[in-house]
Amino acid sequence: QSVLTQPPSVSAAPGQKVSISCSGSISNIGNNYVSWYQHVPGTAPKLLIFDNRHRPSGIPDRFSGSKSGTSATLVITGLQTGDEADYYCGTWDRSLSGAVIFGGGTKVTVL
Amino acid sequence: QVQLVQSGAEVKKPGASVKVSCKASGYTFTSYDINWVRQATGQGLEWMGWVNPTSGNTRYAQRFQGRVIMTRDTSISTAYMEVSSLRSEDTAVYYCARARTAANYDFDDWGQGTLVTVSS
């Protein structure tokens, strides 16, 4: 069971919007930056968002991130079939001698 | 462009060890830490630790301490991750990932993954 809690799945039609939540605690999200990754099984994960809300070059602005307190959210607008993937939040956790932790992942399905 | 190319799939028996390599190109190898993350079948991502290519210093996730060794060879820009005393639960795809910053909490480039199967 992951320290960071994500919904197992979300779905929407092409062109619509989905939001993925990531819930943690004061020892992780509450005191550290959050990143988001897109992972198509069989390929390398891709960094979508870093430092809560910043996009690496090449990531479209359809992907946006935010953080409030001990939770973070990834929003995908203008959903495309190519967005079908697993999405993971990640951050540093200062308990357990410190570690990078990930959420359990959320499967995005484009209907 | 940045590339991390990992070694091929491995099949090991329980109790054996496996060593996975990750060859970096397209950037200065010693400028960024290399992390290792694994994904067991049907499971999420799990961080294992990092190696600093300049100093060779390492930091391991608590659950892997004593069973994982991360090293590097700067002459060939390659990082290695060795897991010993393998058990069936170690069957997973292992990824190397470059840390985006020295803070080492997010990763901007990843290897293609190496499947390690532990089976008798």
Write the pLDDT tens digit of every residue in B20-75: 999 999 999 999 999 999 999 889 999 999 999 999 999 999 999 999 999 999 99
Amino acid, single-letter form, for residue B16: A
Best mutation target, A22, A46, A100, to test chain B (most B CBs within 10 A): A100
Between strands B10-12 and B114-118, the pairing is parallel
Tell me whether A26 touches chain B (CB under 8 Å). no
Instruction: Mark yes or no for CB contact A102/B45 under 8 Å.
Output: yes
Question: Mean pLDDT per 10-residue run, chain A (111 residues)?
Answer: 92 97 96 96 94 96 97 98 97 88 96 93
Report the run of H or E that residue A19 belongs to, with start and end: strand A18-23
Q: Across chain B, what does the average pLDDT equal?
A: 96
DSSP notation for A25-88: -TTTGGGS--EEEEE-TTS--EEEEBTTTBPPTT--TTEEEEEETTEEEEEE-S--GGG-EEEE
Amino acid, single-letter form, for residue A10: V
Between strands B78-83 and B18-25, the pairing is antiparallel
Residues across chain A:
111
Instruction: Mark yes or no for CB contact B44/A32 under 8 Å.
Output: no
> What ranges in B1-120 are assigned the alpha helix state H?
none
